[in-house]
Structure 1
Amino acid sequence: MSLDQLCHHFDAGRCRSCSWLGLPYGVQLVDKQRQVAALVEAPWEPAVASAQLGFRNKAKMVVSGSVDDPTLGILNPAGGGTDLRDCPLHTAGIRAALPVLADFVRTAALTPYDVPGRRGELKHLIVTESPDGELMVRCVLRSQEPVARIRKHLPALRAALPALVVASVNIQPEHKAILEGDHEIVLTEQETLRMRVAGLDLHLRPQSFFQTNTAMAAELYQRARAWTADLAPASVWDLYSGVGGFALSLARAGVAVTGIEVSREAVASANLTAADSGLADVRFEVGDATAYALGSGAPPDLVVVNPPRRGIGPELSGWLESSGVEHVLYSSCNAVSLAKDLAAMPSLRPVRGQLLDMFPNTGHYEVLALLRRR
């Protein structure tokens, strides 16, 4: 397939975010697997392929241009907008919603933020689609000045976009490369988007994180259950638990699970899902993963870690090494930091590993590794 059939923006040089799009997809997978295997010695299973297009459940669109002619996409080198409403990475529901939201920018008179001029209000539109086709739309604003107009025109937007179930505004007043601020105002009665995946019915609040590739998220959770089933752990810690995908997957098997996550929004989402699911032996707490581990008593039978790109770091690696924990399930988006963490805990070695192509057309990925104490 030619590049223009995949993405005419890439072919024209307007957007190079998908830096590997010029490579055949099979070559992408082989190259990623080779990179990971060179960094981490493990019994690697075949890579799990993703759909190459239409997989991305979340759009983070920079709003630029003018009220009458807004662009939704990215900024070009000069600070102007490049419109990517038809980006083929996004799900069909998001692609259909973005033109409607561009009309909403005009109707509600939401002045796009001018980065070079440091003026305007609307910085980003963040759109998430659930597996059921429902939408969450967030407007990232410089101030609360446009909120009344957004409220006024929201009924018309919902009529034009029936899939919209959660709408909010986020206030980010600083002129910095920060996507969103701390203050969120939910404008709809429904406050969470339901992400039904891998047998789970997860609640997603506006500021909660969820993997952008729903199919690969499902594969992750399913493997977590399958890989640990024979271990029959009586107790589990899920550190960096997010909205609870791993923890809730394991709790469904009757395991007592504690999830630790620094994001209050994510913890609220996870606890709501646990309550809805009737899972009494799973609980989520707001806290730092390393501080929780170092401050706790006896370790659990299994520890799950799903850290950011920097990895778990020397303190938590050192604790895991000396803790006596028999098994660790490590989900990583960066094999470089994974390798560094593994070097700090030589008693825990990978007995199973798999690459899941969470981010096709780029050099990024997710890997899952099961570690066993030797």
Structure 2
Amino acid sequence: MKKGQIYEGLVEKVVFPNKGIIRVDDGRTVVVKNVVPGQKISFSVTKVRKGRGEGRLLEILEKSPMELEHVPCEHFGICGGCTFLNLAYEKQLELKEQQVRELLEPVCAPYEQEYGLAPFEERFEGIRRSPGQFEYRNKMEFSFGDSYKDGPLSLGMHKRGSFHDIVTVSGCKIADKDFSDILLAALSWFQNCENPMGETGSEKGIPYYHKMRHTGYLRHLLVRKAAKTGEILVDLVTTTQMEQAAEQKVLEGFCTALLNLELKGKIVGILNTHNDSLADAVINQGTRILSGVDYFYEELLGLRFRISPFSFFQTNSLGAEVLYDTARTYIADAGTGKVVYDLYSGTGTIAQILAPVAKKVIGVEIVEEAVGAARENARLNGLNNCEFLAGDVLKVLDEIEEKPDFIVLDPPREGIHPKALERIIHYGVEQMVYISCKPTSLARDLEVLQAKGYMAERICCVDMFPATANIETCVLLGRK
């Protein structure tokens, strides 16, 4: 097996998140992404290391028996957003549950005899579904670019496997029609308005930011919409390369185009964020209000949350209720009348759900804007026993005088820093809840936690991201 060789093979299984396993003629395996079990595919070998290969999908030669006859989205396979939209939702759930089980059982099962634990199958509670399979996203981050080199302006998602090409996802099925209408209105305005920059050779159309030349104006369009209140916040991310007077005229027209739309929800704020960094990411280097306000409100489990453009908030509001209800069930009476640490607390959602039964909840979050939002949300909900601290968990823990009786962990995708994990274990609390958005990171951290005596007592998956390869996992840990 050599780099550049082309093979055909059957996808035996798919491991988290979307890595298909194919066995070639000599018995060695190749990993190919963006496939489903049972497909016969052709692929090109891109890397060979220690007898194991990686490949790039070339063509699906035969569909899997698992696949739908008709995929419900016209952009599937072109857009890089969805992975499993070609499977019925029950099949998606089965696949994700199997992936998490195969990751966590080898980590959790070896301790059963030593600690008298129930078998893994009894502790693993399967997967809870999202209340909605379609139109569930409350946030979309669209990119400006072109659909092919030197083509017309596009706005949407990156094409699968491409760093540059953009597909205009006007028919996206995981976000509702308001997102598509806003996308198309913004694209039409910037394609047709007068160009004051004069760098595209055309009198019409505003140029997008070219990643290689580092010139241009348009970068991203961030749209957030609350599932319960219907409030919409739109943030146009641009460079500072346009002259101020000309920019004001362009942005006024942009606001008018959006505010004239007939939407199911209501636009409460239109913002402009400047970003001159070289990174292809939404980075806030200054945000101003063009219309309305710079926040919107969402409701979860009877609580009200004020959300700013860059605050972390689960992208599936109704799914978040399922996730946090699961966590609340796991915590049950363990946090009653006690000091609870909510580490990696974001906008303080979990902290405020626990606050009514806790003596005090202390949230720690590195994003200062999210901490400010958490404090405001606690005030809105009449919760005076919540304290939110800004900073890195590893450093902030040294500054907190009150010791925890219970700890909730909801870290970012990469999991918990090893030194922070040591500090957390050192508190010696009887129980913890770990909420993870990446089961491979969870499996790694569980190895450390279990070696120190914290056993997984209950495990449940929650599908927050239908059609994609991502999954949330909630684990109740008890000290043995």
TM-score by length of 2: 0.72
Quote the residue 1:269 is aligned against.
Answer: 373
Quote the residue 2:115 is aligned against.
Answer: none
Structure with greater Cα Rg = 2
Contact 1:173 1:181 in 2 (8 A): no
What stretches of structure 2 of length at least 5 have no aligned partner?
A: 1-66, 109-119, 195-205
Q: Give SS of 1:160's match.
A: coil
Contact 2:340 2:408 in 1 (8 A): yes
**What does 1:141-290 align with in structure 2 at a 5 Å threshold?**
141-143=238-240, 145=242, 147-149=247-249, 151-153=251-253, 154-155=255-256, 157-160=258-261, 163-231=266-334, 232-290=336-394
Tell me which protein shows more helix as a share of its residues: 1
Contact 1:64 1:113 in 2 (8 A): yes
Tell me which amino acid in the other structure corresponds to 2:308: R
Quote the residue 1:372 is aligned against.
Answer: 478
Match for residue 64 of structure 1 among 145, 157, 167: 145
Quote the residue 1:128 is aligned against.
Answer: 224
What stretches of structure 1 of length at least 5 have no aligned partner?
A: none
CA RMSD of aligned residues (A): 2.4
Match for residue 6 of structure 1 among 55, 72, 85: 72
* Distance verdict in 2 for CA 1:27–1:161, change over 3 Å: same
Contact 2:298 2:305 in 1 (8 A): yes
Match for residue 74 of structure 1 among 152, 157, 160: 157
Partner Cα separation in structure 1 for residue 412 and residue 85 of structure 2:
25
* Distance verdict in 2 for CA 1:108–1:134, change over 3 Å: farther
- Could you give the per-residue CA deviations for residues 187-231 of structure 1, whole angstroms, max 9, x where no partner exists? 334221101122121111111111111111111222232322321
* Larger RCO (CA under 8 A, 6+ residues apart): 1
- Could you give the per-residue CA deviations for residues 153-199 of structure 1, whole angstroms, max 9, x where no partner exists? 32553243561112211111123222323322233342211011221
* Distance verdict in 2 for CA 1:353–1:78, change over 3 Å: closer
Match for residue 46 of structure 1 among 113, 117, 126: 126
Moved more, 188-197 or 53-62: 188-197
Q: Does the alignment pair 1:113 with 2:209?
A: yes
Quote the residue 2:168 is aligned against.
Answer: 83
Partner Cα separation in structure 1 for residue 397 and residue 417 of structure 2:
13
Contact 1:113 1:123 in 2 (8 A): yes
- Taking every aligned residue pair, what percent have the same amino acid on both sides? 30
Q: Does the alignment pair 1:101 with 2:186?
A: yes
Quote the residue 2:79 is aligned against.
Answer: 15
Measured after TM superposition, the shift of residue 147 of structure 1 is 4.6
Measured after TM superposition, the shift of residue 35 of structure 1 is 2.0
* Distance verdict in 2 for CA 1:180–1:208, change over 3 Å: same
Alignment size in residue pairs:
371
Measured after TM superposition, the shift of residue 123 of structure 1 is 0.8
* Distance verdict in 2 for CA 1:208–1:168, change over 3 Å: same
Q: Give SS of 1:202's match.
A: strand
Measured after TM superposition, the shift of residue 5 of structure 1 is 4.3
Partner Cα separation in structure 2 for residue 147 and residue 271 of structure 1:
35
